[in-house]
Amino acid sequence: MKLTRRMSTGWRGLSLLLASGLAVSIASGALAVTPVTPKEAKEERKEDRKERKEDRKEDREERKEDRKENRVELKKEWKEKHSAWVDKRGERRDARREEVKKKWGDLADKPAARAELRKHARRVARLERIIFLADATEKPKVSENAKALLEKERARHQARMDALKAKPEASK
């Protein structure tokens, strides 16, 4: 009786049957009670554990193979995208330089502004890389967070450049 007090209510009936040397089997919808020795019950539990362990091992191996196949495919995609990105690097650099000259004019030549532009470029590059990788690995939350940080960085940069433009003697 001590055994049943420690177990949850759902297992009390089953534990009473097992303690009395009976096993419950459900076959074709009928409930049948057959006598089982404690040794047989122990062996059955051992076999069940062994089967569950083997099933878990097979599932792990299947998931591992799937991940490996996905990584190979993703690697190919990333390499293609990266090579396309690298090929257009010079064009992007030239376009960005023209954009900065057009927007900020002579301010872009001053040391404080150049330092700010360098800092901004480095931060934007890192955030855009994070966004690229998050999208490639299908991690939308990471991508959203990085996009929010990118907008914050752009606002910070704009405010800093406006401050430098307002104080031309400080930026010399």
> Does 150 lie in the same domain as 104?
yes
The pLDDT of residue 37 is 87
For 39-68, how does the pLDDT look when each residue is reduced to its tens digit (9 = 90+)?
888 899 999 999 999 999 999 998 888 888
Domain of residue 103 covers 88-172
Residues 163, 171: contact at Cβ < 8 Å?
Answer: no
> Does 83 lie in the same domain as 93?
no
For 68-115, how does the pLDDT look when each residue is reduced to its tens digit (9 = 90+)?
888 788 788 888 888 888 899 899 999 999 999 999 898 889 999 999
Residue 142 has pLDDT above 50, yes or no: yes
The overall pTM is greater than 0.85: no
Question: Which residue in this structure is represented by tokens 């991508």?
Answer: 143
> Does 63 lie in the same domain as 25?
no
Q: Based on the structure, what is the number of domains in the chain?
A: 3
Q: How many CA atoms lie within 13 A of 91 on its CB side?
A: 5
